[in-house]
């Protein structure tokens, strides 16, 4: 595996597993909670991440999207949903471990739309971006539910660290 793929694999899988780990800590009420009908629930974020992982894996493995199976509908039971997500992450781990530079350069298209040039590498990076975006959305809910403590949030800005380490006002 190239160093690029090691970094991508670590980031994509590590952050997707963090979504899964956090989702497993939620109550059923928290999993389906939303501040607004226009905002995603934690369940929506899990499903979106899992289904796009499955979809883009199919684009990587089979260039002709007309040959793809429809993506599974999400199970209503949270544990069944989490099991599907985890199984997809295992498939991605095997997929990423087997990619070569030649394979990364192979042309692809999303849903057979050739108007936008795409490659296996683009599909992998699409999923990395998707996972990071969904993790960011999920983290807001995770903190709002008090799962990382209940003290008021204090962002670790860099200047206080500089002052603590190097002194100064």
Lowest mean pLDDT across 18-27, 56-65, 130-139, 155-164? 155-164
Average pLDDT over residues 97-123: 95
> Does position 169 have pLDDT exceeding 70, yes or no?
no
Per the CB < 8 A criterion, the answer to whether 52 and 127 are in contact is yes
**pLDDT, averaged across the chain:** 94
CA distance 52 to 123: 10
Those residues with Cβ within 8 angstroms of residue 116's Cβ, 6 or more apart along the chain or in another chain: 109, 110
> Does position 142 have pLDDT exceeding 60, yes or no?
yes
**Percent over 70 (pLDDT), the chain:** 98
What phi, psi does 99 have (nearest 5°)? Answer: -75, 145
* pLDDT for res 2: 54
> Does position 114 have pLDDT exceeding 80, yes or no?
yes
Average pLDDT over residues 57-63: 97
In this predicted model, what pLDDT tens digit does every residue of 21-45 receive, in sequence order?
999 999 999 999 998 999 999 999 9
In this predicted model, what pLDDT tens digit does every residue of 78-91 receive, in sequence order?
999 999 999 999 99
**Percent over 90 (pLDDT), the chain:** 86
* pLDDT for res 60: 98
* pLDDT for res 46: 99
Per the CB < 8 A criterion, the answer to whether 30 and 95 are in contact is no
Report the CATH number of the 3-166 domain. Answer: 1.20.120.450
* pLDDT for res 39: 94
């Amino acid at each position: 595996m190239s160093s690029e793929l090691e970094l991508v694999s670590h980031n994509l899988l590590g952050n997707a597993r963090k979504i899964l780990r956090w989702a497993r800590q939620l109550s059923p009420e928290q999993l389906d909670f939303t501040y607004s009908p226009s905002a995603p629930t934690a369940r929506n974020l899990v499903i979106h991440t899992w289904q796009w992982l499955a979809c883009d894996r199919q684009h990587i493995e089979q260039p002709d999207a007309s040959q793809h199976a429809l993506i599974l509908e999400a199970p209503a039971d949270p544990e069944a949903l989490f099991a599907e997500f985890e199984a997809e992450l295992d498939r991605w781990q095997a997929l990423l471990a087997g990619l070569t530079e030649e394979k990364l350069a192979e042309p692809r298209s999303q849903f057979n739309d050739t108007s936008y040039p795409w490659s296996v590498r683009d599909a992998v990076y699409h999923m990395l971006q998707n996972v990071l975006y969904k993790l960011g959305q999920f983290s807001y809910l995770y903190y709002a539910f008090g799962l990382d403590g209940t003290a008021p949030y204090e962002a670790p800005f860099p200047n206080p660290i500089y002052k603590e380490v190097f002194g100064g006002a």
